[in-house]
Amino acid sequence: MDRRSGQIGRIHRLMWGVVGSVLLTVALGGYWFTQVVAQLGTAARQERVQLLALEAAVGEAMAELSEQTQEWKDILLRGHDPVLREKHQHAFEAHALSLGAELVSVQHAARELGLDTDDIAEFSRQHQALMTDYRAALTLFDPKNPLSFRLVDQRVQGRDRLLRDGLRREREKLEVQIAAREQRLSERGVLGQQWLKLGALAAFLPLLSLWFFWQVYRALREIVLSDARIRAIYQAIGDAVLVADMQGRVESINATAQKLLGWREGEARGRLISEVFELYDVHHQQRVESPAESVLRDGCPIPMSNGMMLRRRDGSELAVEDSAAPVRDEHGQAVGVVMVFHDVSKRYALLAELRAARAQFETLFEQLPEGVLLFDENLAVIMHNREAARLLEYSSKETLQLRVFDIEAMDDQAAIVARREKLQQTGRDDFESRYRTRSGRLLEVDVSVQVVQLPDGRIAFQTLFRDITEQKQAALQIEHLAYHDQLTGLPNRRLLHDRLSHAISSAVRRDAQLAVIYLDLDHFKDVNDSLGHGTGDALLQVVAERLLGCIRADDTLARMGGDEFVLMLNDLNDADSASTAAEKIMHELSRPVCIGGDELRITPSLGISLCPGDGRDADELLKYADAALYQAKQQGRATYRFYTQALHDQSVERVQLERLLRHALERHEFELYYQPQVDLRDGRIIGCEALIRWNHPGMGQVSPGRFIPIAEHSGLIIDIGNWVMQEACRQPKRWHDQGRDIKVSFNVSARQFMRPAELMQSLKAALAESGVDATRMEVELTESLLLDPQGMGEVLHEIRALGIQLALDDFGTGYSSLSYLRRFPINILKIDQSFVSDADNNPDDAEMVKTIIGMAHNLRMSVVAEGIETEAHRALLAMQGCRVGQGYHYSRPVPAEEFSRLLQRGSG
């Protein structure tokens, strides 16, 4: 402003010089000077200002078009939300109205300058057509279809670009016109020089006038350029600016003020400030005087202030900060007022969010499930939450008087120093510690400490802690359970493996020996099935106690699960030491056990592997001992076996067979063979027993003695047994359809009887699917199943209710008693072949056979003798009253087709 005042003073002095010169020059020089000053002064400034205003209006129209296009994109992108879509659609329409008004303003300004307005009128028509297309396209928008916005956008894609390019070309054309007008002003200066030359020809004094005028011209040009720069800066200012005269009427508002007020500069010019700038108090909603009006009244500047609400022309409101100051001329006289203001709505909203966030933080801080303590640099508590005081059993006031050493119960100074060093290095540390409460109780706590900076710049330690006392106790219990058997308290498989691995490493280093004894209780399942799992668990506990009495303190006894135990014996002299230990174990476990009034006798089977002789790996030693155990069970149980290479080969074979068994059913490798059951009096075939065979494509026919134990052990016997049941029911139905009624018996495994519901479901399904008469079917079961009278009685009666007969297989070799035979619905007793095979030579066996036959007749049961291989066997059995038998004397088990031929020969 000072520079501009100096320029104006200089112009005044030059003008007076020109006036003096003109008085002395001729009339021609005076006339020329007047024309030049008038042209270069008022006309040039007004015309240039109007062109700049027109250019700015075109720029505003382009900006409104960009805003309108952005709102259109927001409508499409947020169209799935009805609230956002409506918000952006209102903004879209508002920008459209504003753009239309801008185009009308541009057309009016161009007409005042005498410019061609056809292009501008065409812009208005293009905008109206564009709005029509927008609204038509918007009717196709489907908020539920995520892809519909693409279809809508394609309908108007590129249409706004035509209007934007046209406005840009118009703006460029205006810039060219402004440059051309400046060129003409220069040309007029040349013309002025010619006029001065003519004046010089007329008189000497016009030369002096020409010099003065040239100085005035340069000063005016600087003023014009300076005004243009000031105007550009004025319009580019981010804050809103309003300039008014001393009467309080608006002279000018910049572009930002136009947006905030909702008034265009031309509309606001000449109006009172109070009409354009309506200010209200935020708290009381009362109209207040604007700072510009206060300056006009008092003449004192008003600094930036807030807490006011501006009501815009459209009635909407926004929060503003404003200030005002008087405008003074070069003499210091007030000639107007300028007011600066800006929108602080976002700041107010942010402050409101911050206040809400602070309140939420304070609420969360107090409601945190963890205790929170804030320590200052002296390790004194300066802040805490409710949970911290509760856990430490102090009041809030008492908590604020604590120091960290009043709480921390650890005596490990090295650990405390290490924590401090870590905090200094990383600013954070997480650890477990112990805190002492007011009552002296110790809390196991999980602590997280972080270095923070307080608002005043001080360093503090933010400490979060939670009580993990119960968790620690539970963890210790869980850790114990993870490595120990819950029933016996012995180490489990995991702990055994860990100890065994360490023991192997130690034995190898010291060139010592150790033994792994794998132990299994013989027929333990019978105890569970007959006396219940409670008795079985009690028996396992007794076994564990006796086994602990058989080992040394540095040995390990572990329960692997079920009735399996493993003993690890360290520092043995030789294999004989392992044998001695095994015999001691067998002796201890063979002693009677009294549980609940029942006297139980149980024997163990043991498998032994040695380190380093058999292996130096824990898994290998366990696997080899298990293989030796399997061999002990195969060789009659109640014994022990050492691992050998032959056992390894058998174990490998067992694993291989189990793998092949899993695919045998899918590949239809099983087949039923049928052994005739014959009337011993006349030799007629009256029935048969179905026996499974496995026809493997590589191994040929695999003996049932090889794969049935493996199937039982692996659980595959369930699926295999169901297949046998289905096929055994289908075959007699086929024979019946051929006119032959043959009774078929088949074996059901103990594992199937352990699942009575599934067994009955499978049995009923097999009968229904085959359509066989249930009275032609016979189920064979072993004597060991009768040891559980409560569990077996119900399922056996259900089977009999279907019409199926029940046969007790291998009678005389198991544990059944006469009371069981009376209680169960058994129809048939099958004499085991071990009695029949030597009955013609051994009087004891002959007497046993006779006794079984007589007992069966007394119990009204039928008798079937197995293992008849000679005519002498047949004659002896027939003489003793046995009517039905089977054995190689009549036929080996044969496939169904061959059995059909036997039936044909028998009937022929």
One-letter-per-residue 3-state SS of 546-593: HHHCCCCCCCEEEEEECCEEEEEEEEECCHHHHHHHHHHHHHHHHCCE
Q: What is the mean pLDDT of residues 631-659?
A: 81
Q: Cα(first)–Cα(last) distance of the chain, in Å?
A: 140
For residue 362, tell me if it sits in a domain.
no
Q: Read off the pLDDT of residues 767-789 as tens digits, 9 standing for 90 and up.
A: 999 999 999 999 998 876 776 55
User: Considering the domain boundaries, does residue 877 fall inside one?
Assistant: yes
Question: Tens of pLDDT along 722-737?
Answer: 999 999 999 999 999 9
> What is the spatial distance between Cα 140 and Cα 121, in angstroms, rounded to a whole number?
30
Least confident of 318-322, 565-569, 816-820, 883-887: 816-820
- 408-417, 603-612, 824-833 — which is least confidently predicted? 408-417
Question: pLDDT of 46-61, one tens digit each?
Answer: 666 776 777 777 777 7
Mean of pLDDT values over 474-500: 87
Residue 540 pLDDT greater than 70, yes or no: yes
How far is it, in rounded angstroms, from Cα 519 to Cα 539?
A: 15
Instruction: Locate 128 and state its tokens.
Output: 């109206």
Burial degree of 799 (CB within 10 A; 0-12, 13-18, 19+) = buried
pLDDT above 80 for 301: yes
Looking at 314, 349, 384, which one is the last position of a domain? 349
Q: In this structure, are 770 and 698 located in the same domain?
A: yes
Q: Is the domain of 779 the same as that of 714?
A: yes
Judgement on whether residues 507 and 632 belong to the same structural domain of the protein: yes
pLDDT of residue 367: 78
Separation of alpha carbons 808 and 861, rounded Å: 10
- Beta-carbon contacts of 769 under 8 Å, excluding residues fewer than 6 positions away, are 726, 729, 730
Do 865 and 654 contact (CB within 8 A), yes or no?
A: no
- The rounded mean pLDDT for the chain is 82
Residues 564-590 have a mean pLDDT of: 91
* Torsion 417-423-426-428 (CA) sign: positive
Mean pLDDT of 871-887: 91
Pair 63, 171: CB distance under 8 Å: no
Please give the Cα distance from 378 to 128 (Å, whole number).
73
Share of the chain above pLDDT 90, in %: 25
422 class by beta-carbon count within 10 Å (0-12 exposed, 13-18 middle, 19+ buried) = middle
**Does the structure show a pLDDT above 60 at 405?**
yes
- Confidence (pLDDT) at 519: 95
Give the number of other CB atoms < 10 A from CB of residue 92.
22
Query: Are both 374 and 453 inside the same structural domain?
Result: yes
Number of domains in the chain: 5
- State whether 557 and 639 are in the same domain: yes
- For 622-657, b where at least 16 C-beta lie within 10 A, e where not — what string? bbbbbbbbbbbbeeeebbbbbbeeebbebbeebeeb
Assess whether pLDDT exceeds 50 at residue 574.
yes
Mean pLDDT along residues 502-531 = 89
Residue 225 lies in a domain: no
Higher pLDDT, 172 or 244: 244
Q: Are residues 341 and 419 in the same domain?
A: no
Rounded distance between C-alpha atoms, residue 179 and residue 172, angstroms = 11
411: burial class by Cβ within 10 Å (0-12, 13-18, 19+)? exposed
* Structural domain includes residue 702: yes
User: What pLDDT is stored for residue 630 in this prediction?
Assistant: 85
Residue 798 domain-assigned (yes or no): yes
pLDDT confidence tier of residue 566, bands split at 50, 70 and 90: very high
Picking from 474, 508, 531, the residue at the C-terminal end of a domain is 474
In this prediction, residue 581 carries a pLDDT of: 92
Measuring CA to CA, which residue among 378, 467, 395, 403 is closest to residue 438?
395
**Does residue 207 sit within a domain?**
no
Q: Which CATH number is 150's domain given? A: 1.20.1330
Q: Out of 48-52, 397-401, 518-522, which region has the weakest mean confidence (pLDDT)? A: 48-52
Q: What is the pLDDT of residue 3?
A: 45
CA distance 395 to 389: 6
- Is pLDDT at 9 greater than 70 in this prediction? no
Region 320-349: what's the mean pLDDT? 85
pLDDT band of residue 883 (cuts 50, 70, 90) is very high
- DSSP for 797-853? HHHHHTT-EEEEEEETSS---HHHHHHS---EEEE-HHHHTTTTT-HHHHHHHHHHH
pLDDT tens figures, 660-674: 888 888 899 999 999
Q: What is the SS3 string spanning 333-393?
A: CEEEEEEEEEECHHHHHHHHHHHHHHHHHHHHHHHCCCEEEEECCCCEEEEECHHHHHHHC
Lowest pLDDT segment from 160-169, 195-204, 733-742, 849-858: 195-204
pLDDT (0 to 100) of residue 130: 75
Asked if residue 749 and residue 829 are part of one domain, the reply reads: yes
CA dist., res. 273 & res. 290, Å (int): 8
DSSP 521: E
d(CA 747, CA 708): 12
* Cα–Cα distance, 340 to 345 (Å, whole number): 16
User: CA 335 from chain center: how many Å?
Assistant: 70
Task: Answer yes or no: do 683 and 735 share one domain.
Answer: yes
Let me know whether 591 and 681 are in one domain: no
Q: What is the pLDDT of residue 10?
A: 65
In this structure, is residue 144 part of a structural domain? yes
> Is the pLDDT reported for residue 70 higher than 80?
no
Question: Does residue 25 have a pLDDT over 80?
Answer: no
Tokens of 207: 């030369």
User: CB-hemisphere CA count at 13 Å for 303?
Assistant: 0
Q: What is the pLDDT of residue 176?
A: 75
Highest mean pLDDT out of 98-107, 232-241, 258-267, 645-654: 258-267
pLDDT over 70, % of the chain: 83
Per-residue pLDDT band at 792 (split at 50, 70, 90): confident
Residue 283: CB atoms within 10 A of its CB come to 8
pLDDT: which is higher, 176 or 684: 684
Q: Do 636 and 664 fall into the same domain? A: no
Q: How confident is the model at residue 2 (pLDDT cuts 50, 70, 90)?
A: very low
Q: CATH no. for residue 330?
A: 3.30.450.20
Q: Which of 448, 474, 500 is the last residue of a domain?
A: 474
The better pLDDT of the pair 666, 160 is held by: 666
pLDDT for position 165: 74
Q: Which residues contact 358 (CB under 8 A, 6 or more apart)?
A: none
CB 593 within 8 A of CB 599: yes
Query: In terms of domains, do 398 and 436 share one?
Result: yes
CA distances from 861 to 178, 508, 600, 878 (A): 128, 64, 31, 16
Q: Which of helix, strand or coil describes residue 167?
A: helix
Please say if the pLDDT value at position 18 is more than 70.
no
| Length of the chain in terms of residues written | 908
- Return the higher-pLDDT residue of 24 and 826: 826
User: Is 233 a residue whose pLDDT tops 60?
Assistant: yes
The residue segments making up the domain with residue 837 are: 658-906
pLDDT at 490: 93
CATH code at position 547: 3.30.70.270
Task: Decide if 215 is inside a domain.
Answer: no
Measured over all CA atoms, what is the biggest interatomic distance in the chain, rounded to whole angstroms?
177
Contacts for 320 with CB less than 8 Å, ≥ 6 apart: 260, 279, 306, 308, 309, 310, 341, 342, 343, 344
Distance of CA 462 to the CA centre of its chain: 30
Residues 673 and 818 in one domain: yes
On the question of pLDDT at 189 being above 60, the answer is no
Residue 319: its pLDDT value, please?
A: 84
pLDDT digits (tens, 9 = 90+) for 678-734: 999 998 999 999 999 999 998 899 888 888 888 887 788 999 999 999 999 999 999
Average pLDDT value for residue range 796-803 = 92
Residue 228 — pLDDT band, cuts 50, 70, 90? low
d(CA 80, CA 93): 19
pLDDT value for 37: 46
Long-range contacts of 316-324 (CB under 8 A, 24+ apart): 317/280, 318/260, 318/343, 318/345, 319/282, 319/343, 319/344, 319/345, 319/347, 319/348, 320/260, 320/279, 320/344, 322/279, 322/290, 322/291, 323/291, 324/290, 324/291, 324/292, 324/294, 324/295
Lowest mean pLDDT among 16-20, 243-247, 864-868, 900-904: 16-20
